[in-house]
Amino acid sequence: MVLGDDARQLRRLVGDGSNPTIEATAVTPGFKDEIIFQSINEGYVALDDWKDVDAASMMTSIRENTEEGNLERRKQGMSDIHVVGWLQEPTLDRQTSTVFWAIEGSTDDGRIVNSIALRLGRSGYERLNWIADKVNYVPLGGQLDVMLRAHSFDPGSRYADHESGDKIAAYTIGGLVAAVAGAKVLKVVAGVGLLVLLKKFGVVLIAILGSALFGLRGLFRRKAKPNPPTSGDQV
């Protein structure tokens, strides 16, 4: 695991540019799995519109945006990526204040999985992202599950610690999920879009597709589901 300034420098070296929200990068031996931790402190994210999240409509938009992104990718000499569909539709675990999902994509090199978890806190959220070849994807009990179980906000900073007068985010959970998943553009969200796994010179690289930004940026974000949300809400 690489932390703090070292993690941000690593992201710059693989083409991610300067991103002050990156906190850590964890890599398994052989670079088969990589998890990026990113802290976004834009305020408390309300759950009021969770019931309005439409996974089917969202997937249609993600596919359309990804195909539009392929036009730019071709100009840059990069291969296309196509969205296969949800491996896990967006799911809210209210006990841990965590939203998670997984999308399967198809590239010239095979099938990949983009798996994301957003853990909500009092002042924003922690984003964890996992990109993996589908053959290495573990929906339960994988590397990201371990990371999610190890992660917690300090007392006073947890989602349940929210009080009247706290800063409120300019978006609710529905808009946040749609933006991070790549279904629409949301200015305040860092790293919007489906991430493409590229391997070059033994280093894992990621290209972001989404918003107005195209090209190489190494946002490895991996999402494994937290403990099965027996009491959670699924779209």
Give me the number of domains the chain comprises: 1
Q: b or e along 55-86 (b: 16 or more beta carbons within 10 Å of the residue's beta carbon)?
A: beebbeebbebbeebbeebeeeebeebebeeb
Q: Identify which has the larger pLDDT, 220 or 63.
A: 63
Cβ–Cβ < 8 Å for 223, 135: no
- In this structure, of 33-42, 114-123, 187-196, the range with the lowest mean pLDDT score is 187-196
- Residue 90, pLDDT score: 94
**pLDDT reading at 186 higher than 50:** no
Report pLDDT for 197: 31
Token pair 């402190």 is found at 41
Residue 194 is part of which domain span?
A: 2-234
Residue 41 DSSP one-character state: -
pLDDT: which is higher, 193 or 89: 89
| 50-96 residue pLDDT tens | 998 899 998 998 888 888 888 888 887 878 889 999 999 999 999 99
At 20 the pLDDT is 85
- State the chain's mean pLDDT as an integer: 75
Element (H, E) at 110: strand 110-120
Q: Alpha-carbon distance 82 to 103, whole Å?
A: 11
Is 60 exceeded by the pLDDT of residue 220? no
Poorest-pLDDT segment among 38-42, 130-134, 220-224: 220-224
Alpha carbon distance 102, 91 (integer Å): 10
Res. 206 pLDDT band, cuts 50 70 90: very low
pLDDT of residue 219: 30
Rounded CA-CA distance 183/213 in Å is 14
Give the global pTM.
0.75
- State the pLDDT confidence band at 183, using cuts at 50, 70 and 90: low
Percent of the chain residues topping a pLDDT of 90: 26
* pLDDT tens readout for residues 99-144: 999 999 988 878 888 889 999 999 999 999 887 788 888 878 777 7
Examine the pLDDT at 7 and tell me if it is beyond 80: yes
Nearest to 57 by CA among 143, 164, 226, 181: 181
